[in-house]
Structure 1
Amino acid sequence: MGNSYKALMLGLLASLFFAVTFIVNRVMSLDDGSWIWSASLRFFWMLPFFLVIVLSRKNFSVLWNEIKRNPLQWIVWSTVGFGIFYAPLTFAAAYSPSWLVAGTWQVTIIAGIALSPLINKQPQAKQNNLLSSLFFSGIILCGIVIMQVSQASKFTFDHLLLGTLPVLTASFAYPLGNRKMMQLTGGRLDVYQRILGMLLGSLPFWLLLSGYDLFVNRTLPGSNQYTQTFIVAISSGVVATALFFLATDKVRNDEKSLARVEATQSAEVLFALLGEILILNAPLPDRYAFIGMVLIVLGMILHSIGFSSSNQE
Structure 2
Amino acid sequence: MTAGAHDGRRALAAIGVALLSALFFTLTYVLNRAAATGGGHWAWTAALRYLITLPLLLPLMPLVGGIAPVWRAMRAHPLAWFKSASIGFVGFYLLLAFAASSGPSWLIAGSFQFTVVAGMLCAPLLYRDARRKVPMAALGVGGVILVGVVLLQFGYAQGRLDRAAWIALACVLVSATLYPIGNRLLLLHLERTGETLSATQRVFGMTLASQPLWLLVAAFAYQQAGPPSLPQTWLAAGVAMGAGIVATILFFQATGMVRDQPAALGAAEAMQAAELLFAMVLGALFLGETWPHGVALGGACLVVAGIGLFAWLVSRPTPIVLPQEPHA
Q: TM-score, normalised by structure 2?
A: 0.90
Q: Percent of counterpart pairs with the same letter?
A: 33
Is the contact made by 1:136 and 1:302 (CA closer than 8 Å) also made in structure 2? Answer: yes
Gaps of at least 5 residues in structure 2 are 1-7, 320-328
- Structure 1 CA distance for aligned equivalents of residues 110 and 97 of structure 2: 15
Is the contact made by 2:46 and 2:97 (CA closer than 8 Å) also made in structure 1? Answer: yes
Which one of the candidate residues 161, 182, 187 is aligned to 1:177? 182
Q: Does 1:245 align with 2:239?
A: no
Cα distance, 1:150 vs structure 2 = 1.4
> In the alignment, what sits opposite 2:198?
190
Which one of the candidate residues 95, 111, 117 is aligned to 1:110? 117
Q: CA RMSD in A?
A: 1.8
- Structure 1 CA distance for aligned equivalents of residues 153 and 259 of structure 2: 32
> In the alignment, what sits opposite 2:145?
140
- Which amino acid is 2:307 matched to? M
Cα distance, 1:218 vs structure 2 = 4.4
> In the alignment, what sits opposite 1:217?
224
Secondary structure of 2:128 counterpart? coil
How do 1:1-313 residues align onto structure 2 when only pairs under 5 Å count? 1-123=8-130, 127=133, 130-153=135-158, 157-186=162-191, 188-214=196-222, 216-310=223-317
- Structure 2 CA distance for aligned equivalents of residues 108 and 288 of structure 1: 22
Cα distance, 1:309 vs structure 2 = 3.0
Give the stretch that moved more between structures: 173-182 or 220-229. 220-229
- Structure 1 CA distance for aligned equivalents of residues 312 and 225 of structure 2: 52
- Structure 2 CA distance for aligned equivalents of residues 108 and 209 of structure 1: 24
Secondary structure of 2:226 counterpart? coil
- Structure 2 CA distance for aligned equivalents of residues 57 and 301 of structure 1: 33
Secondary structure of 1:224 counterpart? helix
- Which amino acid is 2:166 matched to? L
- Structure 2 CA distance for aligned equivalents of residues 259 and 134 of structure 1: 8
- Structure 1 CA distance for aligned equivalents of residues 126 and 159 of structure 2: 39
Cα distance, 1:230 vs structure 2 = 1.0
Gaps of at least 5 residues in structure 1 are none
Q: What whole-Å deviation, never above 9, does each CA across 1:129-154 have from its counterpart, x for those lacking one?
A: x0000000000111111111113348
- Structure 2 CA distance for aligned equivalents of residues 83 and 254 of structure 1: 27
Q: What whole-Å deviation, never above 9, does each CA across 1:5-44 have from its counterpart, x for those lacking one?
A: 2111000111111111101111110001111111111111
- Structure 1 CA distance for aligned equivalents of residues 159 and 127 of structure 2: 41
> In the alignment, what sits opposite 2:322?
none
Secondary structure of 1:93 counterpart? helix
- Which amino acid is 1:110 matched to? V
Is the contact made by 1:75 and 1:201 (CA closer than 8 Å) also made in structure 2? Answer: yes
Secondary structure of 2:265 counterpart? helix
- Structure 2 CA distance for aligned equivalents of residues 290 and 311 of structure 1: 34
- Structure 1 CA distance for aligned equivalents of residues 138 and 231 of structure 2: 42
Secondary structure of 2:227 counterpart? coil
- Which amino acid is 1:280 matched to? L
- Structure 2 CA distance for aligned equivalents of residues 151 and 159 of structure 1: 14
Q: What whole-Å deviation, never above 9, does each CA across 1:110-144 have from its counterpart, x for those lacking one?
A: 001001121112349x726x000000000011111
Q: TM-score, normalised by structure 1?
A: 0.94
- Structure 1 CA distance for aligned equivalents of residues 11 and 317 of structure 2: 11
- Structure 2 CA distance for aligned equivalents of residues 58 and 132 of structure 1: 38
How has the CA–CA distance of structure 1 residues 305 and 210 changed in structure 2, closer, same or farther, with 3 Å as cutoff? same
Q: What whole-Å deviation, never above 9, does each CA across 1:196-240 have from its counterpart, x for those lacking one?
A: 1101111111111111111x3142212201111111111111111
- Structure 1 CA distance for aligned equivalents of residues 186 and 314 of structure 2: 25
